[in-house]
Amino acid sequence: MNKELAILLGLLYTDGCVSPKGQSWRIYFAVKSQVLVNLFRDCMVDVFALESNRVRIGVTQDGLTRAIVNSKEVGNWLVGRFGTFRTLKFANGRLPPARLPVSLLKSTRHVADFLRIAFSCDGGVSFYSAKRDGRNGGTRWLIRTVFLACTHPQLRRDYLKLLSQLGIRVREVAKDGKLKMETERDIRLFQERIGFTAGVRVTGNSKFWNGYEKNEVLRLLIASYGRPSKIYQLPKFNEVMI
């Protein structure tokens, strides 16, 4: 296991797949971030010594940038070594037997490289000002969470093991399919030891931070521990009520 393979696995277990295509395999990755698509292309080229034109880049009907490699040899190697990359339920409701390569990542010291990609693809920062009306102007506070979305129970357990390896404590919220860091200690450790891939931005799913780099939102969150009033004063938070 080298860094490039750890990154590639992080991409495949989140927004990628390895699926049969006739007698061959299709290795597929699709996201909104061009930064992550470029990483996928570069890692496929580096890990499997492919010509760059073997990685076909295009756009899906719903506006994602996709990268595809068709290869029997690459697919056989990935599935033979790591098993299935499918994380969603089958039509009959059963879960695929997916597992993260926890022991291999730990033994080769690429846990942070793998987690950085996983959080860049399927994770983010929930950071906003909340307010409740009441006497003397009511009460105001900040919601601060770093999260990873993962609907597969076994993979959540595997992520917990990897995060624990780095000393980071998280809360599993099974009903939401998420792992959450909510304490200053653990969020600071996340920034120091993992962080997000440089250049990856928050998508339109965020009410407040669409278009911001994820690392920038994380930086603002951590700065707010010492200066919460500066965050309360941001115009985007003036109307937030719960």
Task: Convert the pLDDT of each residue in 118-139 to its tens digit.
Answer: 999 999 999 987 777 666 656 7
Q: What is the 3-state secondary structure (H, E, C) of 151-193?
A: CCHHHHHHHHHHHHHCCCCCEEEHHHCEEEECCHHHHHHHHHH
Domain with 31, as residue range(s), is 3-84
From 46, 66, 84, the end of a domain falls on 84
Q: Tell whether 215 and 167 lie within a shared domain.
A: yes
Predicted local distance difference test score (pLDDT) of residue 237: 59
Distance, CA of 202 to CA of 120 (rounded, Å): 9
Predicted local distance difference test score (pLDDT) of residue 242: 27
Q: Tell whether 79 and 139 lie within a shared domain.
A: no
Q: Tell whether 120 and 72 lie within a shared domain.
A: no
Q: Tell whether 206 and 170 lie within a shared domain.
A: yes
Q: Tell whether 162 and 80 lie within a shared domain.
A: no
Q: How sure is the predictor about 23, in pLDDT bands with cuts at 50, 70 and 90?
A: very high
* Residue 147 main-chain phi, psi, to 5 deg: -135, 160
Write the pLDDT tens digit of every residue in 37-88: 999 999 999 999 999 999 999 999 999 999 999 999 999 999 999 999 999 9
* Residue 241 main-chain phi, psi, to 5 deg: -135, 145
The CATH number of residue 211's host domain is: 3.10.28.10
- Model pTM above 0.85: yes
How many domains are there within the chain? Answer: 2
